[in-house]
Amino acid sequence: MHKYLELGDDKMNPFLSHFETAHNTIPFDKIKNEHFMEALEEQIKKRKSVIEKIKKNPAPANFANVIVEMDKSERLLEPVISTFSNLFHAEANDELQVIAKDFFPKVTEHENDISLDEGLFRKVETVYQNKNDLNLNKEQLRLLEIVYKSFVRNGANLNPKQKDEFRSISAELSKLGVEYSEHALNETNNFELHITDEKDLAGLPDSAREAAQMVAKERNKDGWVFTLQMPSLIPFLQYAENRELRKKLFTAHASKCVRGNKDDNRDIVKRIVELRHKKAQLLGYKTHADFVLEERMAQNFNQVNNFLNELLECAMPVAKREIKELTEYSKKIGGPDKLESWDSAFYTEKLKLEKFSIDDEILRPYFKLEDVVKGVFEVAGRLYSIKFNKVSNIPVYHEDVTTYEVSDGDGSFIGIFYADFFPRKGKKSGAWMTSFKSQAVIDGKDERPHISIVCNFTKPTDSKPSLITFNEVTTLFHEFGHALHGLLSKCTYHLISGTNVYWDFVELPSQVMENWVYEKECLDLFAKHYETGEKIPKEYIQKIKDSSNFHEGRNTIRQLSFGLLDMGWHAQIPSNDVDVEKFEKSIMDKTRLFPEVPGTCMSTSFSHIFSGGYSAGYYSYKWAEVLDADAFEYFLENGIFNKNISMKFRNEILSKGGSEHPATLYKNFRGREPGIKALLKRAGLV
Q: Name the residues annotated as catalytic.
A: 479
Interacting residues of 652 by C-beta distance below 8 A, sequence separation 6+: 665, 668, 669
Selection from 632, 667, 391 nearest residue 517 by Cα = 632
Amino acid making up residue 562: F
User: Taking the CB of residue 53, how many other CB atoms lie within 10 A of it?
Assistant: 12
Alpha carbons 525 and 380: distance in angstroms, whole number:
12
Interacting residues of 668 by C-beta distance below 8 A, sequence separation 6+: 652, 660
**Could you give the C-alpha distances from 339 to 139, 324, 347, in angstroms and in order?**
54, 10, 9
> 324-346 burial string, b = 16+ CB within 10 Å, else e?
eebbebbeeeebeeebebbbbbb
For 222, the 3-state DSSP assignment is coil
Q: Where are the alpha helices (DSSP H) in 191-300?
A: 206-218, 230-239, 243-254, 266-282, 288-293
Alpha carbons 91 and 586: distance in angstroms, whole number:
37
Alpha carbons 433 and 451: distance in angstroms, whole number:
7
Contact status, residue 566 vs residue 614, Cβ threshold 8 Å:
yes
β partners of residue 391: 403
Alpha carbons 502 and 170: distance in angstroms, whole number:
21
Contact status, residue 39 vs residue 13, Cβ threshold 8 Å:
yes
Selection from 72, 66, 293, 143 nearest residue 659 by Cα = 143
CA 155 from chain center: how many Å? 27
Alpha carbons 445 and 448: distance in angstroms, whole number:
9
Q: Phi-psi region for residue 527, left (φ > 0), alpha (ψ -120 to 50) or beta?
A: beta
φ/ψ of 18, rounded to 5, equals: -65, 140
Residue-wise DSSP of 20-65: -SGGG---GGG--TTHHHHHHHHHHHHHHHHHHHHHH--SPP-III
What is the helix (H) or strand (E) element at residue 98, kind and residue range? Answer: helix 94-115
Q: What is the dihedral of CA 7, 10, 14, 18, to 10 degrees?
A: 10
β partners of residue 390: 404
Alpha carbons 542 and 472: distance in angstroms, whole number:
19
HEC string of 127-194 equals HHHCHHHCCCCHHHHHHHHHHHHHHHHCCCCCCHHHHHHHHHHHHHHHHHHHHHHHHHHHHHHHCCEE
Q: With the C-alpha atoms ordered 581, 564, 615, 189, is the resulting torsion angle positive or negative?
A: positive
